[in-house]
A and B are shown apart, each in its own frame.
Chain A
Amino acid sequence: MKKILLVDDEPNIIMSLEYTFKKNNFEVYIARDGQEALDILENQIPDVIILDVMMPNVDGYATLEQIKKNEKLNQCKVIFLSAKNKESDIQKGLALGASDYITKPFSLKKLVDKVKGLLE
């Protein structure tokens, strides 16, 4: 079973994501901001991380920077999922090493396909 970490401060969005990925046989972990995500990553090494950008305390970009510093997490794929849809925001996210940058609102089906594609 593949592990996935969902990071977003919007509980209603998390709820939909959690339901969908569980349905697709993922082991789901949830964090409400960057700091919580980094705490979980101390013990868990997920295959995919879905990361929001605008979050309190530690934002998505800073979280990814921390993830990239940690060698244990080398194999983790990171997908940004953000309402910030400016080209500059997207480029910044990809430059930090994200596998993909998906803008909100998004199609759950396409997101699941993308995640599965990444893992193959």
Chain B
Amino acid sequence: MNSLTLISILLVYLTFLFFIAHWAEKKENLKWANNPYIYSFSLAVYCTAWTYYGSIGVAANSGLNYLTIYIGPIIIIPAWIIILQKIIRISRLNNVSSIADFISLRYGNSRFLGALVTLICLAAILPYIALQLKAISETFHVVTKTPENSLALFDTTTYVAVALALFASYYGTRYVDASEKRKGIITAVAMESILKLVFFMIIGIYVTYFVFDGYGDIYKKASVLEHFNTKNTIGSIENGMNWFFLCMLSLFAIFLLPRQFHVSVVENNREKHIKTALWIFPLYLFIFNLFVFPIAWGGNVLFDGEVKNADTYSLLIPQFFNNTFLTIIVFLGGFSAAISMIIVSSISLSTMLSNNLLIPYTFLGRLKNEEQEINNKKIVTIRKIGIFLLIIIAYLIYRFFALDYSLGSIGLVSFVIIGQLAPSFFGALFWRRGSSLGAKSGIIVGFLVCLYTLLIPYAYGLTNTTNTFIASGIFNIDLLKPLALFGLDYLSPIAHAFFWSLLFNTMTYFAVSVNFKGNYRERNYAEMYIDVDKYSTNHENAFVWKGTAYTRDIEKVLVKFLGEERTQRAMSIFNTKYNVDKNQELADARLVKFAENLLTGHIGTASAKILISSVVKEEKITLPEVLKILEESNENIQINKKLVETSNELKKITYQLKHANENLIIKDRQKDDFLDTVTHELRTPITAIRAASEILIDDEDVPDDLRKQFLNNIISESDRLNRLIDKILDLEKLETGKQKLNLSQNDFFNTLSKTIEPLQQLIKNKNISVILDFQKPLFLFYDEDRIIQVVTNLLSNAIKFCPEVGGKITIEILNKSNFYEINVVDNGKGIELKDAEMIFDKFYQSDNQNIKKPHGSGLGLAICKQIVELHQGKIWAKNNENTGACFTFTLLK
């Protein structure tokens, strides 16, 4: 196939990815771009060109060993729900944007440690990126059947590398704050993950079922090949050890590789997305590996005896059958695998390079004095150039050094180097005593061992047995043979180097940490990391800091990087969160930590600390003091929690008391009003009686008829007095339960007739029409005298409130599930809503009749209520639609 055609296809493909990234960036708030599947598939950036091509090479040449790289992650993934969640939480709270930040922050925010981790990552990953470029380049030449051009300028893959570098540096540095999410890139990576899987499955199915007749066929044909059995069994116990260590190696790598840390931690939007990744990612790895074996051995069968690079079997097979379309598809899948790795790795490496190496060691002094815009521009430029240079350097490594090694071997070397971060990384999560010095010395010692047992021999060529260094060790000491250190001669070079370097690394880390205690800051962060859940809501509280600091100074520093507006916004968030007065001049530990966090995303943890330290005056604290403060703050948090609970309870009780009190006051006032009313009502007949009597006794000339009239008045007023006293006693009896009901079965219609009879005159006087709306007869169980009392009361009220002209009263009975509802409806002015409930309280008189003569003693409805409730019914009032009042009471069936 023509180079130009393939390049055009590549360009179209890259444009497509560019479009996806661009689209996702635009729609970053859309649910679609935030779903857990994007997160899960982006994790498959783990499967690089090494997986895509290299696994097949390994499977073809050395059998099952390729599986270890996938078994390791699958073993550890179930533990993600705890470990990864913890890492994500710590990182989110501290604005961590790379693994270098993560490790160095835990060990007292050590600048040197951050730089060291960055260097380790660079050493591990640059050759790894080179490997990807090599894969692109090699496969490109396989597809186009062109030889590689020894002059980089004329080699088409050079331009591919440059294009990638531009793409990554453009999209990877959209935000100054490195802990911001990069939706565009991540969506594109997830898309590529899906494409590479689909393409790989297509070629797998093609080889298995079209070139051959299924798995059985391939197995049958392959099993007659030389070495088939030895390659496809684990074999000896030594080989088992190799397996074990390789699994461990990849288990660490899934956490430690900068690109994995980036996609799984920095780009994580929601912790719950882990749950989806928990099954998607292992399933992804599993499906990917289904077809590695058939392609590898299918290739071995097809090309038996020919010297071919087994890494490229997946391309050679369709090409062998002249299937250009499939060849291109496979090439695009491998290309996807390579570029997602390159892009994500270079972004995370450049963040580390800028935030943990360049800014804290060189640029910080200059950034300190500039304006925000210039600063941001500088930081972004540093990162852009960083990404670009990293890819170009990787390309140069590929051109000059990495040409001779197979994909798998470089990948594993890189895993071993990155593995050196494991002790300090996992120690950060689980061991309080781990110290900065321990972490640094562990990493350095581990790396040196790795250098001795792996990198130097690698540089000489592993199989170069004539080399004296490899054959007989340094100074000819047998025990120091680099590939068989201390006589351990049965492990493969990778497993061997991994074993020794990690052993020394871990031992050093433990020994140094135990013997040289870290300072208070390390111990402080240890608490914050290990007990992250305890501090997750008020993270800044956990930061121990003593000294003098001014809010204004800290704000000034923030403005230089965040700008005026964002600084003010952040400060007001802080003030609200901790209930701090915004005019507070002195800053406390929380503000110091808060400010450091804000800067961390821009310039890294170490620089953030340095910058803030330059404007505050910190006092040294001793380790025991830190522990004491932490303990106290812990206690405080718990006491606070209890206090909040108690105060909430108190608030509730206070509210209830207040409510009860208000009710009491109202009741008390009602009682006063009632007494007022009752005395008034009692005095009125007494007054009449007294006046009449006075006339009769003083005046002997009163005419006879008038004298008779006065005496009649005295009698009627005495009766009135008596009735009133009866009512009061009646209510008292009902209320105290002394009144018993005399229940019997009655026809409600009969009862109603008896009630209306004495009221006929009043009804006629006002010309009111009374409508009875219910089925007759209606037999119910009640105390007839009492119910007559109730209905009389309601009817007299209704009559009283009916308009002078066109008055109308309706009595209707509704049949409800287990009771009857009796409504007495008039068409008067209705009742005030605020009175609706209280009119049934004794003593209650509506406001608007407070001074005016009340229409009754204020006892009628109260007595009704008592009677109805004694019948287990309810009584209430509301306004009817036709603006009249509607009084309702219920009677049980």
Contacts and interface: CB of A to CB of B under 8 A. Distances in A.
Interface of A: 9-10, 12-13, 15-17, 19-20, 23, 53-57, 59, 61, 83-86, 104-109
A105 B853 contact: no
B852 A54 contact: yes
A118 B709 CA distance: 31
Interface string B713-725: 1001100000000
B671 to A, nearest CB: 14
B683 A105 contact: yes
B92 to A, nearest CB: 68
B676 A13 contact: no
Interface string B679-699: 110011011111110110011
A74 to B, nearest CB: 25
Given A83-B687, A105-B686, A108-B694, A16 B853 contact: no
Contacts of A16: 688, 691-692, 694-695, 710, 713
A55 B853 contact: yes
A12 B852 contact: no
B720 to A, nearest CB: 9
9 contacts: A12-B692, A12-B713, A13-B687, A13-B688, A16-B692, A20-B695, A83-B679, A85-B683, A104-B686
Contacts of B853: 9, 54-56, 59
Given A12-B688, A55-B853, 17 more contacts: A9-B853, A12-B691, A12-B692, A12-B717, A15-B709, A15-B710, A15-B713, A16-B688, A16-B692, A54-B680, A55-B852, A83-B684, A84-B680, A85-B679, A86-B676, A105-B689, A108-B695
B459 interface: no
B82 interface: no
B307 interface: no
Given A23-B699, A83-B684, A86-B676, A13 B691 contact: yes
A76 to B, nearest CB: 22
A110 B403 CA distance: 132
Contacts of B706: 19
Interface of B: 676, 679-680, 683-684, 686-692, 694-695, 698-699, 702, 706, 709-710, 713, 716-717, 851-854
A83 B680 contact: yes
B430 to A, nearest CB: 78
A61 B850 CA distance: 12
Contact of B698 (A9, A86, A109): A109
Contact of B852 (A15, A23, A57, A104): A57
Contact of A105 (B687, B702, B709, B716): B687
A55 B713 CA distance: 20
Contacts of A15: 692, 709-710, 713
B851 A59 contact: yes
A16 B694 CA distance: 9
Contacts of B851: 53-54, 59, 61
A107 B694 CA distance: 8
Contacts of B852: 54-57, 59
Contacts of B854: 54
Contacts of A13: 684, 687-688, 691
A17 B699 contact: no
A86 B683 CA distance: 13
Nearest to A34: B852
Main DSSP-derived SS at the A contact region:
loop
A48 B455 CA distance: 125
B676 A84 contact: yes
Contacts of B689: 105
A104 B695 contact: no
A59 B852 CA distance: 5
Contacts of B692: 12, 15-16
A109 B694 contact: yes
Contacts of A17: 691
A16 B699 CA distance: 12
Given A56-B852, A84-B676, A104 B684 contact: yes
B4 to A, nearest CB: 105
A83 B683 contact: yes
- Give 5 closest A-B pairs by Cβ, nearest first: A16-B691, A83-B683, A12-B688, A104-B687, A105-B687
B679 A108 contact: no
A90 B680 CA distance: 14
A85 to B, nearest CB: 8
Contacts of B717: 12
Contacts of B702: 19
Contacts of A20: 691, 695
A40 to B, nearest CB: 19
Contacts of A19: 695, 702, 706
Contacts of B688: 10, 12-13, 16
A61 B680 CA distance: 16
Nearest to B709: A15
B691 A108 contact: yes
B689 to A, nearest CB: 8
A89 to B, nearest CB: 9
Nearest to B699: A23
A49 to B, nearest CB: 18
Contacts of B676: 84, 86
B621 to A, nearest CB: 69
B680 A105 contact: no
Nearest to A62: B851
Contacts of A53: 851
A28 to B, nearest CB: 15
Given A53-B851, A59-B853, A104 B694 contact: no
A61 to B, nearest CB: 7
A20 B680 CA distance: 23
Contacts of B680: 54, 83-84
A99 to B, nearest CB: 20
Nearest to A111: B691
A10 B695 CA distance: 17
A118 to B, nearest CB: 20
Contacts of B683: 83, 85, 104-105
A5 to B, nearest CB: 18
Contacts of A85: 679, 683
B698 A106 contact: no
A80 to B, nearest CB: 13
Nearest to B696: A16
A9 to B, nearest CB: 6
Contacts of A23: 699
A54 B692 CA distance: 21
A56 B709 CA distance: 25
Residue of B676, B690, B853 with highest tally of chain A CB at under 10 A: B853
A95 B756 CA distance: 47
A1 to B, nearest CB: 20
A15 B854 CA distance: 22
A16 B687 CA distance: 10
Contacts of B691: 12-13, 16-17, 20, 105-106, 108
A4 B456 CA distance: 131
B847 to A, nearest CB: 14
Given A53-B851, A59-B853, A86-B676, A10 B684 contact: yes
A109 B698 CA distance: 9
Contacts of B679: 83, 85
A105 B695 contact: no
Nearest to A108: B694
B253 to A, nearest CB: 90
Contacts of A59: 851-853
Residue of A16, A17, A86 with highest tally of chain B CB at under 10 A: A16
A18 B795 CA distance: 35
B809 to A, nearest CB: 21
Nearest to B849: A56
B185 to A, nearest CB: 81
Residue of B684, B695, B710 with highest tally of chain A CB at under 10 A: B684
Residue of A20, A57, A86, A105 with highest tally of chain B CB at under 10 A: A105
B349 to A, nearest CB: 88
Contacts of B684: 10, 13, 83, 104
